[in-house]
Amino acid sequence: MALPACAARALGPPLQPERRAPARTTCPRRHSRVEAELAASRPGSVAASVLAGPPRGVSRGFNSQPLLDEPPKASSSLAGAARTSLFALLPRSRRRRMHDLRRRWDLGSLCRALLTRGLAALGHSLKHVLGAIFSKIFGPLASVGNMDEKSNKLLLALVMLFLFAVIVLQYVCPGTECQLLRLQAFSSPMPDPYRSEDESSARFVPRYNFSRGDLLRKVDFDIKGDDLIVFLHIQKTGGTTFGRHLVRNIQLEQPCECRVGQKKCTCHRPGKRETWLFSRFSTGWSCGLHADWTELTSCVPAVVDGKRDARLRPSRNFHYITILRDPVSRYLSEWRHVQRGATWKASLHVCDGRPPTSEELPSCYTGDDWSGCPLKEFMDCPYNLANNRQVRMLSDLTLVGCYNLSVMPEKQRNKVLLESAKSNLKHMAFFGLTEFQRKTQYLFEKTFNMNFISPFTQYNTTRASSVEINEEIQKRIEGLNFLDMELYSYAKDLFLQRYQFMRQKEHQEARQKRQEQRKFLKGRFLQTHFQSQGQSQNPSQNPNLNANQNVTQNLIQNLTQNSSQNSSHKENRESQKQSAGQEQSDGNTSNGTNDYIGSVEKWR
């Protein structure tokens, strides 16, 4: 059967069926897709070239008209007619799909071209900019040779130098607190590390009169002998931070061994398996959780030398130290700690050989803890040990019958406790204040002749500072801790006077050392001067040579005698002042202390 007339007119001669393919004799409307595929499969045919699309690298633009709308060229009228007729034979969906593919192909090629040209332009501009910069900075190098090659080599050298510096810095200064990385040292002068840390006035006016023996605290601590430092840790005074400084931040011949994941460290004396520190982080709570003065003075000797015979026990020196804090801040910090579930149930409160009974020391809560308690409830409990805690833990409770409140009147009991706490605090080897971290570090180093590795840090923002209270609540807290307020005022005055005294003593020693060095250099200069004059002249022409040498020796002897006499006179005056200060009472005015304070102000 022949093809329909429409296909015959378009194609001319009838299409010959391929080998092993049957001839198509049905209607083209039903099998137009098959006819188009057969025409496209014939190599070199017009339909195959139409379906293949434009050649690679050729684009008609993405707004071009479909192929079926383009007019046929004059030189290929038969091909154009065949192309138009073949597209007309295709289904509408296939023609639309071919048109969409063509549009997408044109858009993708356009994006690729734009991206390639944009990157090329950007690289070219960057190259010119870098070349201009290097030509400005390294102008002399540009005249030597090729600028691009030299700039690339120079840039590579700078990068390698920077990487090498970073590696060296990591080895030299691995920590984050390296002094070399503090850029403030280059922009501003180094401030005084012992300035007023609480931002108060730098001028200090003392309220109490202390003798020279009270102000001069210098302990002859022998770490290789039998001396022992005992740390009295009061709750919420920053004692945990200070305790860590003692075991991790102090320069020793044999440092403490602290293992990862363990709170306790091993602090042995050099060459001995015996500890030199009695604290939470060295021996643990051996005398109970947060043991006070009464417990430690009776417990520590028994714990340290309990296994030895009484006749073989060495005569130890127990040096007690502690840290105090502002009573209001400490009270609020303890309340926040109790809110989080702290109870300190493991505290023994042993006094006079026994712990207190439940009637002598009732509990403020009935459950397992007092977590979530409001501040009003915390203040309303009359048996709360947070009230005047610092006075109670620093005083000798055996003087007032321990926790038995019926031994003496309350007013007399408070007076005895306060005086006992003041006396123990004054005779302690050392005490510090939480509000003065750098001064605390300075006094400890001068007292025990032991230096810390890194300086202490002053934290002005704490949990207690985040609690906002009005004036009424603050006055009530001060009333509940009136003994602690009096003790802290006394301790702060003594602390700052000791600090000023030690600073003045340090400057006097430095000035005296400079004077002795100048005297020594002056004597050496005179000696060398006379010797040079004697060598320049002959002995026969200089009969006074021996006399000059004798004068030089006499001058040196006089200088040494004067310096020794001055030092002996100073020691005599200091001993006289010390004896006079010890004879005077604390209530009378001390002329030596007033002169010291006046000299401090004059020096400032």
**Bridge partner list, 228:** 318
pLDDT digits (tens, 9 = 90+) for 214-246: 999 889 998 999 999 999 999 999 999 999 999
Q: Binning pLDDT at 50, 70 and 90, where does residue 106 land?
A: low
Q: What is the mean pLDDT of residues 187-211?
A: 63
Determine the Cα–Cα distance for residues 4 and 410; give it in Å rounded to an integer: 129
Distances (CA, A) of 413 to 96, 209, 392, 479: 105, 25, 11, 17
pLDDT digits (tens, 9 = 90+) for 475-521: 999 999 999 999 999 999 999 999 999 999 999 999 999 999 998 88
Q: What is the mean pLDDT of residues 120-131?
A: 76
Strands 277-278 and 228-232: parallel
Contact between residue 69 and residue 10 where contact means Cβ atoms under 8 Å apart: no
Active site residues: 290
| pLDDT of 122 | 79
Residue 337 has pLDDT above 90, yes or no: yes
Q: Binning pLDDT at 50, 70 and 90, where does residue 402 land?
A: very high
Contact between residue 348 and residue 259 where contact means Cβ atoms under 8 Å apart: no
pLDDT digits (tens, 9 = 90+) for 436-450: 999 999 999 999 999
Q: What is the mean pLDDT of residues 412-431?
A: 97
Q: What is the mean pLDDT of residues 520-525?
A: 85
- Residue 181: DSSP 8-state: G
| pLDDT of 573 | 54
Angle at 528 (CA atoms; ends 526, 530), nearest 5 degrees: 70
Determine the Cα–Cα distance for residues 515 and 508; give it in Å rounded to an integer: 11
Lowest mean pLDDT among 30-39, 290-299, 344-353: 30-39
Give the residue among 287, 280, 253, 249 at the shortest CA–CA distance from 268. Answer: 253
Angle at 500 (CA atoms; ends 494, 504), nearest 5 degrees: 140
Strands 257-258 and 228-232: unpaired
pLDDT digits (tens, 9 = 90+) for 142-191: 454 455 666 677 777 787 888 888 777 766 555 444 444 444 444 444 45
Give the residue among 208, 240, 202 at the shortest CA–CA distance from 491. Answer: 208
Angle at 477 (CA atoms; ends 473, 480), nearest 5 degrees: 140
Question: Tokens 């040498």 map to which residue?
Answer: 549
Could you give the count of Cα atoms lying within 13 Å of 301 in the half-sphere of its Cβ? Answer: 12
Q: Does the predicted TM-score (pTM) go above 0.85? A: no
Q: Binning pLDDT at 50, 70 and 90, where does residue 92 land?
A: confident
pLDDT digits (tens, 9 = 90+) for 263-298: 899 999 998 999 999 999 999 999 999 999 999 999
Question: What's the whole-number average pLDDT of the chain?
Answer: 76
Distances (CA, A) of 324 to 256, 331, 357, 474, 492: 25, 12, 28, 19, 9
Q: What is the mean pLDDT of residues 97-125?
A: 73
Number of residues in the chain: 604
Residue 64 has pLDDT above 50, yes or no: no
Task: Please give the share of the chain, as a percent, with pLDDT higher than 70.
Answer: 62
| pLDDT of 421 | 98
| pLDDT of 414 | 97
Give the residue among 577, 444, 434 at the shortest CA–CA distance from 499. Answer: 444
Determine the Cα–Cα distance for residues 399 and 402; give it in Å rounded to an integer: 7
Contact between residue 450 and residue 221 where contact means Cβ atoms under 8 Å apart: yes
| pLDDT of 451 | 95
Determine the Cα–Cα distance for residues 88 and 94; give it in Å rounded to an integer: 11
Q: Binning pLDDT at 50, 70 and 90, where does residue 413 land?
A: very high
Give the residue among 341, 371, 337, 344 at the shortest CA–CA distance from 462. Answer: 337
Q: Binning pLDDT at 50, 70 and 90, where does residue 10 land?
A: very low
Q: What is the mean pLDDT of residues 60-70?
A: 43
Tokens of 518: 């100048």
Determine the Cα–Cα distance for residues 425 and 581; give it in Å rounded to an integer: 19
Residue 592 has pLDDT above 50, yes or no: no
In sequence order, which residues have a C-beta less than 8 Å from that of residue 237 and are 6 or more positions away?
A: 322, 323, 324, 325, 330, 390, 434
Residue 50 has pLDDT above 50, yes or no: no
Contact between residue 348 and residue 295 where contact means Cβ atoms under 8 Å apart: yes
